[in-house]
Amino acid sequence: MNKRNGFTLVELLVVVGILGILSGLVIVTLNPSQYFKQGRDSRRLSDLGKIQATLELSFADNNRYPTVAEFATLTVPTDPDGGSYEYCVDDATTPMNYGICATMETTPLPSDCTSAAAYGCSSTAETCCLTNPF
């Protein structure tokens, strides 16, 4: 009588099939696309904070915020999806107030988001804007 060592092909296929089903259930349960959206939104909020710091430094140097044309020449982060952030000001020549906005993928919006519609920025339920802090 031959003694067998190892597993048969059928046994291995059954184990691989069970592992495939279990991994599929875990992926569906965790919903990775939601985590990716939250990660991109966190980066957007961080980018808005960095842009806001840049704008405040510009105000300290020039006693006004950059115009829309001047903002276009600044080196600022880009949206994680490859787009750009919306910048709007209260006065086209000597801006004293601004709004910098991003479109978020998840709701509810973070508590530090405001509306910059008064400065001409688009305002939707998904738009998160930071305005000058003063």
Q: What CATH number is associated with residue 32?
A: 3.30.700
Question: How many residues appear in the chain?
Answer: 134
83 within a domain of the structure (yes/no): yes
28 within a domain of the structure (yes/no): yes
Question: How many distinct structural domains can be found in the chain?
Answer: 1
73-93 confidence digits (pLDDT tens): 988 899 998 888 999 999 989
Q: CB-based contacts of 5: which residues, under 8 Å, 6+ apart?
A: none
How far is C-alpha 77 from the geometric centre of its chain's CA atoms? 11
4 within a domain of the structure (yes/no): no
Is the pTM here over 0.85, yes or no? no
The amino acid present at 63, given as its one-letter code, is: N
75 within a domain of the structure (yes/no): yes
Strand ranges (DSSP E) for 11-121?
86-89, 98-103
Q: Which residues of the chain have pLDDT under 70?
A: 1-2
42 within a domain of the structure (yes/no): yes
3 within a domain of the structure (yes/no): no
What residue numbers bound the domain in which 100 lies?
A: 9-131
